[in-house]
Amino acid sequence: MSSTCSPPGPRTRPPPWAEPPAPGSWPATKPPTAPPSSKPRSKKPPQPCKSRRWRRQRAENLPNRKRSWRKQPVNNSNSKIALVTGGAGFIGSNLIDALLAEGATVVCLDSLLTGRASNLAHLGGEPRFDLVEADVIDPLPQSVRRTRFTHIYHLACAASPPHYQADPEHTMLTNVVGTSNALRLAEEKGARLLLTSTSEVYGDPEVHPQTEGYRGWVSCTGPRACYDEGKRAAETLAFDFQRTGRADVRVARIFNTYGPRMRADDGRVVSNVICQALAGDDITIYGDGSQTRSFCYVSDLVDGLKRLMDSDVTDGPVNLGNPDELTVSDLVERVLALTGSDSKLVHLPLPVDDPRRRKPDISRAQALLGWSPKVELQQGLEATAAWFAEDRRAAWKGVAGKPQPSPGTRTLITGVAAE
């Protein structure tokens, strides 16, 4: 005997306004308190998707709207969770030491192209520090995106001519794409961002000393343009984010800086002269040595960066540098006397677009930040020469210059930072 049966249909519950079932029957639904309304339910019109483009357009229409970053704590170092891009470099590593000394939690993002992990090796056991190896022009790693940053110090970019001219495209992308990535992260987290710009935005200046209002004399096609114009573009991005209320921004224009952890091959005049004098090599002077520079010791600069970050200065950039101007020839004489070297002087042609004079006007920093450099040049040169001498001795013993274990892109080791 055969029979056909249709597949069972889906079980359905009676509507809530149906008659109550008999005792013990299924389902035991409770009677409603009131019959349903016979009026059709009104549907809300679809809401527009609040995409990034929508937010950007709204920001342009409402430039003065209040954002969450205005309520962020900025002066309590114990609550500070800081990202330092380019933190394995000369200035960045010294800044990280200062932030950790104040009780901050710090994450360093560095590609290690020009930065050195050895600059941060002494922080290997520090629970409030982590190093993430990544390039700021790439999408930011998830370990960084998940962190509740309150402050972002954006230092990432090769800053010496041999390094930034070696790959000008990457230099330009770091200044534009990398700065955009850092600003978008600041917008997302409600963090305050400090952009380190440069005195190179003044080019080969015709005004001395250089104030923040001076627009500069810059070539957009020369061999230094990837850095000079790149930093000008980075400033433009930063202040556009500031004007439209998307991020809380500070901009520092850094003049010549020197001190421990400089690279011997970075092509800067202080490191060149000291390393050549210590090695007994000929001292290279570009041009006749009459060009001037103003040298700021790194601890003074770090103090200025911290003061600017914690300030309310949002109406423009701030020069940070030492206003004491001296010629390159004077610097060479000081280093030779300090090291006791009998190195000979060799003059080479002056590079294209190399500034003839460089001296900052720091009256704005003095008035708004209460900042001025304190370390005398002789004292700073002694400390820098001692550091290079120790670095040379360590290299002879096979300690310095060894590649450090790559930390990769790691999850933060501090629990307070993860969202």
pLDDT digits (tens, 9 = 90+) for 183-208: 999 999 999 999 999 999 998 888 99
Q: Is residue 212 in some structural domain?
A: yes
Residue 227 appears among annotated catalytic residues: yes
Mean pLDDT for all residues in the chain: 84
In this predicted structure, what is the pLDDT of residue 221?
Answer: 87
By percentage, how much of the chain surpasses pLDDT 90? 65
Show the tokens assigned to 349: 């042609």
Please give the Cα distance from 109 to 102 (Å, whole number).
20
If one counts the domains in the chain, the total is: 1
In this predicted structure, what is the pLDDT of residue 394?
Answer: 83
**Highest-confidence range of 46-55, 219-228, 271-280, by mean pLDDT?**
271-280
Give the model's confidence band at 78: pLDDT under 50 very low, under 70 low, under 90 confident, else very high.
low
Give the model's confidence band at 402: pLDDT under 50 very low, under 70 low, under 90 confident, else very high.
very low
In this predicted structure, what is the pLDDT of residue 184?
Answer: 98
Q: Is residue 3 in some structural domain?
A: no
Q: Is residue 391 in some structural domain?
A: no
A 10 A CB-CB count for 345 gives 13
In this predicted structure, what is the pLDDT of residue 58?
Answer: 52
Q: Is residue 234 in some structural domain?
A: yes
Rounded mean pLDDT, 16-43: 53
Q: Which residues contact 293 (CB under 8 A, 6 or more apart)?
A: 256, 269, 325, 326, 328, 331, 358
Give the model's confidence band at 418: pLDDT under 50 very low, under 70 low, under 90 confident, else very high.
very low
In this predicted structure, what is the pLDDT of residue 33?
Answer: 57
Give the model's confidence band at 131: pLDDT under 50 very low, under 70 low, under 90 confident, else very high.
very high
Please give the Cα distance from 367 to 57 (Å, whole number).
36
Q: Is residue 235 in some structural domain?
A: yes
Domain ranges, residue 93: 77-261+296-324+360-375+407-417
**Catalytic, out of 227, 258, 286, 297:** 227
Instruction: Look at residue 179 and tell me whether its pLDDT is greater than 80.
Output: yes
Q: Which residues contact 181 (CB under 8 A, 6 or more apart)?
A: 136, 137, 139, 140
252: closest CA among 301, 179, 189, 325?
Answer: 301
Please give the Cα distance from 265 to 246 (Å, whole number).
39
In this predicted structure, what is the pLDDT of residue 156?
Answer: 97
Please give the Cα distance from 353 to 97 (Å, whole number).
35
In this predicted structure, what is the pLDDT of residue 409?
Answer: 34
Give the model's confidence band at 20: pLDDT under 50 very low, under 70 low, under 90 confident, else very high.
low
Q: Is residue 313 in some structural domain?
A: yes
Q: Is residue 118 in some structural domain?
A: yes
249: CATH: 3.40.50.720
Higher per-residue pLDDT: 11 or 78? 78
Instruction: Look at residue 219 and tell me whether its pLDDT is greater than 60.
Output: yes
Q: Is 400 helix (H, G, I), strand (E, B) or coil?
A: coil
Show the tokens assigned to 162: 């041999």
Q: Is residue 23 in some structural domain?
A: no
Rounded mean pLDDT, 4-13: 50
**What is the phi-psi region of residue 218: left when phi exceeds 0, alpha when psi lies from -120 to 50, beta otherwise?**
beta
Give the model's confidence band at 51: pLDDT under 50 very low, under 70 low, under 90 confident, else very high.
low
Give the model's confidence band at 293: pLDDT under 50 very low, under 70 low, under 90 confident, else very high.
very high
Rounded mean pLDDT, 265-288: 94
Rounded mean pLDDT, 212-232: 90
Instruction: Look at residue 93 and tell me whether its pLDDT is greater than 60.
Output: yes
Q: State the DSSP H helix or E strand holding residue 152, giving kind and residue range, or none if neither.
A: strand 151-154
Instruction: Look at residue 404 and tell me whether its pLDDT is greater than 50.
Output: no
Show the tokens assigned to 172: 């330009």
Instruction: Look at residue 296 and tell me whether its pLDDT is greater than 50.
Output: yes
Rounded mean pLDDT, 361-390: 97
Please give the Cα distance from 358 to 258 (Å, whole number).
15
